[in-house]
Amino acid sequence: MDTADTMNRTRSHPRTARATTVRTPQQQRARAKVARILTAAETSFSTHGYAHTTIARIARQARVSVGTVYAYFVDKDDVLKQLLTHHVEMLLQPAETFLAHLPHGADMAKTLATLLRDSLRTHAAHAGLHMVFTERIMQDAKLRQLASIFYERGLQLGRTLIARFGGARAKADREASAHVLVGLLDFCTHIGILYPSNVTAERACAVGSAMLCAYFNA
């Protein structure tokens, strides 16, 4: 283990009665090791699913000891929580930056198409992991609470789009419109991943974009 990681945080380990120190990596070597563990965990969750992913399997994939994994994570749910945080940032941060720098006179259809395309690309690249996220968010209250925080960020993106492009109807009920917008974007970008369909994700996004444009212009 890395002795230079001096800033620690203590959490209770579910397998023992004693407190276990879970480290926050400070040095580059430790951060690289944690990144390798997370990469291995994503591979395992995506390939084997939640039930068949274990800390031992993650450790083997990452080429570290089981003790090293437990030095930085409480259990596999803790690993999954960090993966969820990372992947939501991959989805939301680019979208937030894109909308923050949207030029005056931007086209609504092109804006929606860009958001959908970028979201679709990220979802498709991590399809197996998103299936595990969906399964565990429904079953794990702590993960569900974390997901609700991220959903609120998604709603804020929806509010921004409505303020920029929404017609009288969308603006009159901004909150309901934001929920509809985020829900439709989420559904379109999960076609073929969470929702088996003969319709391609690209086609679903094109239809969804057209529906949103029609609604916003009303």
**Percent of the residues in the chain that have a pLDDT greater than 70, as a whole number:** 90
Q: What is the pLDDT of residues 196-208, one digit of tens each?
A: 888 887 888 888 8
Q: What is the mean pLDDT of residues 135-146?
A: 93
What does the alpha-carbon distance between residue 46 and residue 126 come to, in Å, rounded to a whole number?
A: 8
What's the pLDDT at 53? 97
| Judgement on whether residues 112 and 151 belong to the same structural domain of the protein | yes
> Taking 50 as the threshold, does the pLDDT of residue 150 lie above it?
yes
Q: What is the pLDDT of residues 73-102, one digit of tens each?
A: 999 999 999 999 999 999 999 999 999 999
Q: What CATH number is given to the structural domain containing 95?
A: 1.10.357.10
What's the pLDDT at 9? 40
| Judgement on whether residues 111 and 65 belong to the same structural domain of the protein | no
| pTM for this model (two decimals) | 0.82
Spatial CA neighbour of 91 closest among 162, 190, 179, 163: 190
| Judgement on whether residues 187 and 171 belong to the same structural domain of the protein | yes
| Judgement on whether residues 70 and 97 belong to the same structural domain of the protein | no
| Judgement on whether residues 188 and 116 belong to the same structural domain of the protein | yes
| Judgement on whether residues 54 and 134 belong to the same structural domain of the protein | no
Domain count, the chain: 2
Domain span including residue 20: 8-74
| Judgement on whether residues 108 and 58 belong to the same structural domain of the protein | no
| Judgement on whether residues 133 and 195 belong to the same structural domain of the protein | yes
| Judgement on whether residues 81 and 184 belong to the same structural domain of the protein | yes
| Judgement on whether residues 24 and 85 belong to the same structural domain of the protein | no
Could you tell me which residues come within 8 angstroms of residue 26 by beta carbon, excluding any fewer than 6 positions away?
Answer: 4, 5, 6, 7
What's the pLDDT at 160? 93
Token readout for 168 is: 């009288």
Residues 214 and 164: beta-carbon distance below 8 Å: no
Q: What is the pLDDT of residues 1-10, one digit of tens each?
A: 443 333 344 3
* Integer angstrom CA distances of residue 188 from 72, 99, 117, 178, 191: 36, 20, 10, 15, 6
**Percent of the residues in the chain that have a pLDDT greater than 90, as a whole number:** 52
Mean pLDDT of the chain: 86
